[in-house]
Amino acid sequence: MASSFLGLYVQREALLLSQKALDITGNNISNINTPGYTRQRLDVCSVANIKGTLGYNTAVTLAGKGSEAVGVAQIRDRLLDEKVRNYSGDLCDSGMKTSTLADVEDVFDAIETDELGASFASIVNQFKESLQSFSVDNADRVEMANIAINNAESLVQAIVNYDSKLTDISQQVLGDTQATVDRVNSIFAEMGNLNKQIKDAYITMGYIESDMGNYHVMNDYGPLELKDEMHSLLDELSQYGNIHVEEENDGTFTVEFANQTVVSGKDYAQMAITKENPEPTELAYEIATTLRDKDEWYDLNVKFDTGGKSQFLVREGNAGDTVNITGKDNKGAYLLDSGSLRGSADVYNGRGIFTETVNDVKTDANGNEISSTDITNPYQGIEYYRDMLNSFVRTMTNEMNEIFDGYGEIFTYENADGNADFRTAANNFRVADDWKDYPELISNPTKNNEFAELDNTYIQKMLGVLNSPQEYGDGRVSDPQQFTPEKFVAHICDNLGSQVEYETGVYNATDIMLTSVETSRSEVMDVSMDEEGINMMNYQKWYNAIARMVTALDEALDKLINGTGRVGL
């Protein structure tokens, strides 16, 4: 038989619950504008009645023990979290490409009309006109030859200027990427520290059980503010690359980044940029494969096989205990397949048809291959458009110099060591010393015309190079493109315009999808003033009803205690 005072005890607990429900509602309302806050809910259930070996019993004599709070939960949808993070990575990937290619487009817009109002086509035409004038004017051959050289210098300077602007864009991308990698490393460290705090908080709050040394927690409850902070970091990390998240039995979060485990418990990885030479990969991301806690990381210079060097965080073991996440795995899938870091790698390294296939092979201590990363990047990025300029220089130089084979050179792109490297052709493009030292080379290369009579043979061949379609490539491209010099540059601009339009379309479409899923997630996890207002009124009515019940029980007990056995009362 239940005690006569059981009702008061039950209502006392109900008063505390209704007050706590009001407290949680007030907490939600006060955090309505707090970034990353997830609305909370008090979970209440009926008290189970247990007696001896009867188990759960709802007989009349044992029923009516009221309600109790199970815990305070967050309102989140893991599927929506995953969708938001996937779309966020895709958006930042296309956003990086769109903004960078727009900068490249500005460079090639200058090719059509530069800051002085002269287009590249007009510069080429001036060079052609100076050759034509030289071929018909015999008054002062040296003076007319110098005019041709000056126009050739203008042509050279335009190409060098365009290459320099592309270099500026590359350096900007590299600087932004380094800042991003630093932030990613900071996030990894913060997550490791948060995991430790979360696990300790579960133990302190009593929401954890140990089974044969393994921890099991009530994942719906626990340190909600710490979880909010973790989810905010996960949302941010998804902007930089593809992630996968698992909540472990001990309450901690295990995080994968670019298909590599980077956070597990309090231990975490670090990553670094390597700007390596020689070709083809100039920008690569390396992630440590061994996870450590904050007390085990410190700075160490790591040297890479290709000669590059980076500040990398390693304490012991092999400095090469890392994995290159820039390229593809042995199944042909990108390890890092989304996020701004993927976009940076594509626009920085992408050489389109000029790319070379290279594999980065990892082996174990016995020399057995354990992984292979294809670091080929066929994307049409900054280096693709630089190579288009390089191919223009290569073709112009080779075709012009072939006319004067054995007598001298008109153009050159040799570096200080005397090597003609295709990859630096636009940067080293210049009028050859042979022509500068002997301006009349273009009409009298053999120096046999002692009377300086007019000879159009070589000049007409030079004009033929400028007026007829030529092949552009790096000597390896199987199907080189054929355009006149002016149309080749127009082709570059048209191709770039189409690419920017495509990336912009991808960005806008992804933005629409992200906005949609963010709205759905917000409807689940964000605080709604209307909903909290309704809850507040419901909990207030609950509180008032319980208070009235306490009054009724008090009156009943008063009658029982003070009125029993007194006749007439």
Which of 142-146, 354-358, 444-448, 473-477 is the most confident on average? 142-146
Q: What pLDDT digit, counting tens, does each position of 322-343 carry?
A: 788 888 877 778 899 999 999 9
Min mean pLDDT across 151-160, 325-334, 375-384, 447-456 is at 447-456
The per-residue pLDDT for 319 is: 46
3-state SS, residue 567: coil
Over its C-alpha atoms, the chain yields an Rg (Å, rounded) of: 37
Q: What pLDDT digit, counting tens, does each position of 161-171 carry?
A: 999 999 999 99
More confident site: 182 or 279: 182
What torsion do the CA atoms of 359, 365, 370, 375 make, to the nearest 10 degrees?
Answer: -20
3-state SS, residue 295: helix
Q: What pTM does this model have?
A: 0.85
The per-residue pLDDT for 220 is: 81
Rounded CA-CA distance 18/536 in Å is 10
Residue 369's φ and ψ, nearest 5 degrees, are -70, 125
Task: Confirm if 10 and 64 have CB atoms less than 8 A apart.
Answer: yes
| Token digits of residue 184 | 């990613």
Q: What pLDDT digit, counting tens, does each position of 35-65 carry?
A: 999 999 999 888 876 655 555 555 666 677 7
The per-residue pLDDT for 526 is: 93
What torsion do the CA atoms of 218, 222, 228, 229 make, to the nearest 10 degrees?
Answer: -110
Residue 292: CB atoms within 10 A of its CB come to 19
The per-residue pLDDT for 195 is: 95
Q: Where are the domains of the chain?
A: 6-75+527-563, 83-194+238-486
Q: What pLDDT digit, counting tens, does each position of 522-558 carry?
A: 999 999 999 999 999 999 999 999 899 888 888 888 8
DSSP letters, 408-462, are: --SEE---TTS---GGGHHHH-EE-HHHHH-GGGGT-TTS--TT-----HHHHHH
DSSP letters, 81-114, are: HHHHHHHHHHHHHHHHHHHHHHHHHHHHHHHHS-
Residue 410's φ and ψ, nearest 5 degrees, are -95, -50
Min mean pLDDT across 46-60, 177-191, 253-267, 387-401 is at 46-60
3-state SS, residue 281: coil
The per-residue pLDDT for 264 is: 95
Would the pLDDT of 1 be above 60? Answer: no
The per-residue pLDDT for 302 is: 46
Candidates 507, 506, 479, 481; CA nearest to 495 is 481
Min mean pLDDT across 133-147, 262-276, 509-523 is at 133-147
With cut-offs at 50, 70 and 90, classify the pLDDT of residue 70.
Answer: confident
Rounded CA-CA distance 130/135 in Å is 9
Q: What pLDDT digit, counting tens, does each position of 95-133 carry?
A: 999 999 999 998 887 666 554 456 777 888 888 888 887
Residues in the chain: 569
What torsion do the CA atoms of 331, 279, 411, 407 make, to the nearest 10 degrees?
Answer: -100
Q: What percent of the chain has pLDDT over 70?
A: 82
| Token digits of residue 265 | 């418990």
With cut-offs at 50, 70 and 90, classify the pLDDT of residue 418.
Answer: confident
Task: Confirm if 232 and 525 have CB atoms less than 8 A apart.
Answer: no
Task: Confirm if 227 and 198 have CB atoms less than 8 A apart.
Answer: yes
Q: Scanning the structure block, which residue is given the tokens 């006319």?
A: 403
3-state SS, residue 286: strand
Candidates 81, 72, 80; CA nearest to 220 is 72
More confident site: 319 or 22: 22
With cut-offs at 50, 70 and 90, classify the pLDDT of residue 311.
Answer: very low
With cut-offs at 50, 70 and 90, classify the pLDDT of residue 206.
Answer: confident
Would the pLDDT of 371 be above 70? Answer: no
| Token digits of residue 56 | 């759960």
Mean pLDDT for the stretch of residues 238-260: 94
Bridge partners (DSSP) of residue 71 are 43
8-state DSSP, 360: E
User: Nearest 5 degrees, angle CA 553-CA 558-CA 563?
Assistant: 135
